[in-house]
């Protein structure tokens, strides 16, 4: 995946993530973070609002 694709995928999962912030990281770091996000059980991360 390209850096742009990784950032887009991350932003879809983590809606609070800012593309400008994510752009500071390497492709490898973004890939690792995306992998981490995809492993999360989202029922455990529910936000009360």
User: pTM of the predicted model, to two decimals?
Assistant: 0.79
The reported pLDDT for the residue numbered 4 is: 98
Residue range(s) defining the domain that contains residue 23: 3-45
Transcribe 1-20 into DSSP letters. Answer: --HHHHHHHHHHH-TT--HH
DSSP state of 41: -
Residue-level pLDDT at 45: 61
Distance CA 8, CA 47 (A): 22
Q: Are 2 and 22 in contact (CB under 8 A)?
A: no
3-46 tens-digit pLDDT: 999 999 999 999 999 999 999 999 999 999 999 999 886 666 66
Give how many domains the chain has, as a whole number. Answer: 1
């Amino acid at each position: 995946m390209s850096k742009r694709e990784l950032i887009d995928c991350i932003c879809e999962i983590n809606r609070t993530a800012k593309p400008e912030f994510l752009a500071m990281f390497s492709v490898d770091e973004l890939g690792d973070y995306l992998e981490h996000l995809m492993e999360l059980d989202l029922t455990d991360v529910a936000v009360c609002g």
